[in-house]
Amino acid sequence: MPDAKGAIGPGAKAIAAARAQAEAVHVNFEAHVMTGHPVPAICDLKCADRFDLLVIGDLGRSEFYKLLFGSTTDRLVSRAPCKVLVVKRPQQ
């Protein structure tokens, strides 16, 4: 599993910004760049043993979309073995 510092692409900029904000207020920050389906990959981190909080984003898909395809965020909230904070995308 590559370290977030070695991330390539648009995600690297977001990770760097989040890391800078966390360090500015003395909050421990750990990021992981992973492949595969996100729910089992994130739950496999065994976050209950290592993390106090899992922060994830919500893309704001419609209820119809969620009904057809499901929601990764909903699955993580119900399956993650630690507390989960969901951050919604700002209204545009």
Please give the domain boundaries of the chain with CATH numbers for all domains: 1-33 (no CATH), 36-92 (3.40.50.620)
Residue 32 CA to residue 3 CA, distance in Å, equals 6
Residue 14 CA to residue 56 CA, distance in Å, equals 13
pLDDT tens string, the chain, 92 residues long: the values are 444 555 557 778 888 888 999 999 998 888 877 788 888 888 877 665 777 788 887 777 677 666 666 678 888 888 888 888 888 877 76
Tokens found for residue 57: 């984003």
Residue 78 CA to residue 29 CA, distance in Å, equals 23
With beta carbons less than 8 A apart as the criterion, state whether 35 and 11 touch: no
Torsion angles phi and psi, residue 23, rounded to 5: -65, -30
How far CA 67 is from CA of 30, 58, 63, 76, in Å, comes to 32, 15, 6, 16
